[in-house]
Amino acid sequence: MTFLCSALYVDISLAVKPIRHGQLLRSLLRSVIVVAQEQSPVLTGYESIIAVIDRIGVCCMWWPTLRAIVTALKSLRKEETQILLKHAELRASWLQMVRKVEDRSQLHNSMRYVPYCQNPQCTVVGSKALKRCTACLNMSVCSPECQESEWKNGHKEKCRYLRASPCPTMRAEDEDFLRYLIKQDIPKREQLMMPETLTFLTKGNEQYSDPGGSVLGLPCQSRLHWIVAHHPMSYGRAGTDRQAEFKQGHEYHPPTWASFSS
């Protein structure tokens, strides 16, 4: 158990990759349950188990990982989860993690992804002709001309940065989901965050935003900064329809996430 906890208690960018594998995650959760049943003075306070549960909750901001966590939780039998709920020390952490996973899963399931050509001068939306950058999985374009235009307009630097980052490579739709969660979460926690941190996430900081500079020294923070500060908001709420406006000539991108009801 100590090994499992140590493996998770690292930079989130390194923890996500193993956690997103469903079989490993199911084994991890069952290991937590087995250890929780042991009566041992070493387990007083259940610090190790709580640390693992909390780390799983943190990692559910990444959609592929969230999907694996949902599957793993469904695989647990009711009597297994009851073991954790019997312990007052574990109950709060477990219920908080489950609630966070359920809320984010429901949010994701209520939306659908609408791919679009990321060349600002192009109006192609939802076309089967869209191709994804195989190096970073983060850019979609509809033609060689749009690919060349985006490469010259900044994707060359961003692609190099994303490939060099130790954070897991994400598809554009996964990054959009993460961006939406961040922008929803910041206002809720504004008073709890240091002013410098809030400025770093929302307004940007030249010291850390240079793709070729010191950004790799802060892999997780800088990745979140890039996601928030270097991309237009692209997660749509129910009833929004920027796609039609975009086709009429507006110069901003339509939301890449739109409600099923829109």
- Each residue of 123-175: pLDDT tens digit? 888 777 788 888 877 788 899 999 999 888 888 888 888 777 666 566 777 77
Query: Residue 246: is its pLDDT beyond 50?
Result: no
Asked if residue 43 and residue 136 are part of one domain, the reply reads no
Asked if residue 219 and residue 178 are part of one domain, the reply reads yes
Tokens 């679009």 -> residue? 116
Query: Residue 98: is its pLDDT beyond 50?
Result: yes
Confidence of residue 89 (pLDDT cuts 50, 70, 90): confident
Asked if residue 160 and residue 97 are part of one domain, the reply reads no
Half-sphere exposure of 13 (CA within 13 A, CB side): 17
Where is the domain boundary, 60, 77, 109? 109
Domain span at 223: 112-259
Where is the domain boundary, 77, 109, 141? 109
Domain count, the chain: 2
Total residue count of the chain as it appears in this document = 262
Asked if residue 116 and residue 100 are part of one domain, the reply reads no
pLDDT for position 10: 41
Asked if residue 172 and residue 184 are part of one domain, the reply reads yes
Which residues share a beta bridge with 140? 132
- Each residue of 12-35: pLDDT tens digit? 444 445 455 556 777 777 777 777
Q: What is the pTM of this model?
A: 0.59
Helix (H, G, I), strand (E, B) or coil at 202: helix
CA angle 56, 61, 65 (to 5 degrees): 60
Helices (H), the chain: 2-8, 12-19, 22-37, 47-59, 63-75, 78-85, 88-109, 144-150, 156-164, 172-189, 195-202, 206-209, 219-229, 242-247
Asked if residue 179 and residue 77 are part of one domain, the reply reads no
DSSP β-ladder status, 257-259 and 131-132:
unpaired
Which residues share a beta bridge with 113? 257
Query: What single letter denotes the amino acid at residue 182?
Result: I
Query: What single letter denotes the amino acid at residue 259?
Result: S
Asked if residue 46 and residue 82 are part of one domain, the reply reads yes
Q: Distance (Å, rounded) from C-alpha 198 to C-alpha 201?
A: 5
Asked if residue 74 and residue 204 are part of one domain, the reply reads no
Query: Residue 254: is its pLDDT beyond 80?
Result: no
Decide: residue 188, CB within 10 A, 0-12 exposed, 13-18 middle, 19+ buried: exposed
Asked if residue 171 and residue 99 are part of one domain, the reply reads no
Contacts 24+ apart (CB under 8 A), 91-96: 93/50, 93/53, 93/54, 94/53, 96/57
DSSP β-ladder status, 111-113 and 257-259:
antiparallel
Percent helix, strand and coil across the chain, each rounded to 5? 65, 5, 30
- Each residue of 40-60: pLDDT tens digit? 545 555 777 788 888 888 888
Helix (H, G, I), strand (E, B) or coil at 111: strand
Asked if residue 220 and residue 119 are part of one domain, the reply reads yes
Report whether 96 contacts 218 (CB < 8 A): no
pLDDT for position 209: 45
Asked if residue 226 and residue 125 are part of one domain, the reply reads yes
Report whether 87 contacts 32 (CB < 8 A): no
